[in-house]
Amino acid sequence: MKKFLTLLLIIALTPLIGGLYGILHDQLTYTISPEYYTKFKFYQFGLIDSGNDVVISNPRIKVSVVGFKATWWMGIPIGIILGLVGLIHKSYLQMFRAVMKSIGVTIIVAFATGIAGLIYGKFFRSYEELTGWFPENLIDKEAFWAVGSMHNFSYLGGLTGLLAGIIYIIIQKRKYRAIEANK
């Protein structure tokens, strides 16, 4: 019963953790390309009316809203999957520790993959190669592209991080088993 309650706790916590990750991630990317938000994301998330070139008061708060809304939902499948894999542990405490650490692994891998996307977008695409949709009146197309690449890579990083988290939980199970065998 305690492991089931632990699973429910993990599933409840991971959307909050995912949302917090999104807030921090988007604060960083806003620093790199404010236009990514003021000319794209704020419209996409309905925080400002489309077609208005307005001065935005408190843009960092809106960036936080975008970050939370864009990522909280990723916490649900991550929490369910890692929580279910965590059931392999003998006790609810081992399960909780292993799963929470695996969430950290997932976040680190997602962030590192996002940084790889930023590097790709910034250094491996020339200005002339940039094609696709760009907002009107865009001043810094390269920064916009780099941040877009970081965002896209970060979702891939969430999936890759999930796999790394699963592996981490399994490795922790083997460590706990080895410790118990040596008692």
- For 128-179, the pLDDT digits (tens) are 666 667 887 888 988 999 999 999 999 899 999 999 999 999 999 998 888 7
What is the rounded distance in angstroms from the CA atom of residue 172 to the CA atom of residue 183? 17
What is the rounded distance in angstroms from the CA atom of residue 4 to the CA atom of residue 79? 13
Rg (CA), the chain: 20
54 HSE (CA, 13 A, CB side): 12
pLDDT greater than 60 at residue 33: yes
What is the rounded distance in angstroms from the CA atom of residue 154 to the CA atom of residue 159? 9
Write out the residue range of the structural domain in which residue 88 sits: 2-181
pLDDT at 52: 57
Residue whose C-alpha is closest to residue 43's, from 150, 154, 152, 133: 133
What is the rounded distance in angstroms from the CA atom of residue 178 to the CA atom of residue 171? 11
> Which pTM does this prediction carry?
0.89
pLDDT at 51: 61
CA distances for 129 relative to 132, 135, 142, angstroms: 10, 17, 10
Give the helix/strand (H/E) hosting 43: helix 42-44
SS3 87: coil
- For 62-95, the pLDDT digits (tens) are 999 999 999 999 999 999 999 999 999 999 999 9
**pLDDT band, residue 59 (cuts 50/70/90):** very high
In our burial notation (b when 16+ CB lie closer than 10 A, e otherwise), range 159-174 reads bbbbebbbebbeebbe
Q: How many domains does the chain have?
A: 1
- Percent of the chain residues topping a pLDDT of 70: 93
Phi, psi of 62 (to 5 degrees): -65, -35
